[in-house]
Amino acid sequence: MLGKSMLIAAGFSTFAKLKAWHVQLYLKCLWIIHTYPFYWAHKPLCERFQSDVIRIGTMFVCRSCFMFYAGMIVSVLFCSLFPQQTMGVILFFVFSSILLPFSFPPWYKKLPRWARDTLRLIMGMTIVLCVYLIFFGHFLLGVFSAALLIIFWKVYLIFRQQQKRHDCDGCLEFHNNEICTGFSFQAQRIRKYEKQATQIVLKSGYVPKSIRRVLGSKQKK
């Protein structure tokens, strides 16, 4: 009898885990459905940042990221069609000499949009060329270049974070105690997700881990 009870308990436990997994998967899919239109925007969706975002159908995409990945694709195709190590080294140094100085945030922000697009395109191409150097005959040069690019990226992020604090300076909605125009669309989509997700959780009886942690910490106190 004890063995049978244990089997039944194990069966219920497995069923509960499967049910929890099913609910989690459903919530993830629901989140993607509601957030994909702005997930890759990386910017507020207002007139102030209009030039920094590309609209593809119903989806808003960060223009810099779009050009970056486009550069990676172009570079992969180039390296595949023209696998010449010397040409790869030359292009890497040419691109790096353009990319590193002009991507410095205080200067980069002042450049016209087409120039920033070009720099992001070059950035994607440079990273692929760096990997190309590592795996195709220039290992030490590639590793050194990768380390240099990583250091540059870390420094770039520090300056960029400082600059981002002032991106909305001068906006008429900056001091309003409500969600601004740039994030109203995102907020609307997230509210819809929260409403549907709450209904699903209540119907299924599934308790998310975050809530279980809170309840557990309260019980310990």
The pLDDT of residue 209 is above 80: no
Place of tokens 């906006």: 171
Instruction: Answer yes or no: do 123 and 208 share one domain.
Output: no
How far, in Å, CA of 205 to CA of 212, rounded?
A: 13
Domain-located, residue 176:
no
Q: List all residues 6 or more positions away from 212 whose beta carbon is below 8 Å from its beta carbon.
A: none
Q: Is the dihedral of CA 168, 170, 171, 177 positive or negative?
A: positive
pLDDT of residue 208: 66
Instruction: Answer yes or no: do 130 and 195 share one domain.
Output: no
Asked which of 122, 141, 166 is the last residue of a domain, the reply is 166
pLDDT of residue 4: 38
Instruction: Answer yes or no: do 218 and 121 share one domain.
Output: no
pLDDT of residue 1: 42
| Prediction pTM value | 0.75
Domain-located, residue 10:
no
CA–CA distances in Å: residue 176 to residues 105, 172, 187, 188: 28, 8, 16, 18
How do residues 31-90 score in pLDDT, each as one tens digit?
999 999 999 998 999 888 888 999 998 899 999 999 999 999 998 888 887 766 677 778
pLDDT of residue 213: 62
Instruction: Answer yes or no: do 85 and 125 share one domain.
Output: yes
Instruction: Answer yes or no: do 58 and 100 share one domain.
Output: yes
The answer to whether 65 touches 40, Cβ cutoff 8 Å, is: yes
Instruction: Answer yes or no: do 45 and 121 share one domain.
Output: yes
How do residues 106-162 score in pLDDT, each as one tens digit?
788 888 999 999 999 999 998 888 888 888 777 787 788 888 888 888 888 888 888
Three-state DSSP class for residue 20: helix
CA–CA distances in Å: residue 202 to residues 23, 77, 211, 221: 11, 50, 13, 26
Q: What rounded mean pLDDT belongs to the chain?
A: 80
Tokens of 144: 């050194």
pLDDT of residue 60: 94
Question: What residues make up the domain containing 159?
Answer: 36-166
Nearest to 149 by CA among 92, 103, 100, 107: 100
Tally the domains of the chain.
2
Domain-located, residue 108:
yes
Measure the N-to-C terminal CA separation of the chain; round to a whole number of Å: 38
How far, in Å, CA of 72 to CA of 83, rounded?
A: 16
The answer to whether 83 touches 59, Cβ cutoff 8 Å, is: no
pLDDT of residue 135: 81
Domain-located, residue 97:
yes
Domain-located, residue 16:
no
The pLDDT of residue 197 is above 70: yes
Residue spans of beta strands (DSSP E) within the chain: 53-56, 59-62
pLDDT of residue 38: 92
Instruction: Answer yes or no: do 199 and 123 share one domain.
Output: no
Instruction: Answer yes or no: do 153 and 187 share one domain.
Output: no
Instruction: Answer yes or no: do 187 and 153 share one domain.
Output: no
The pLDDT of residue 216 is above 90: no
pLDDT of residue 81: 79
Three-state DSSP class for residue 60: strand
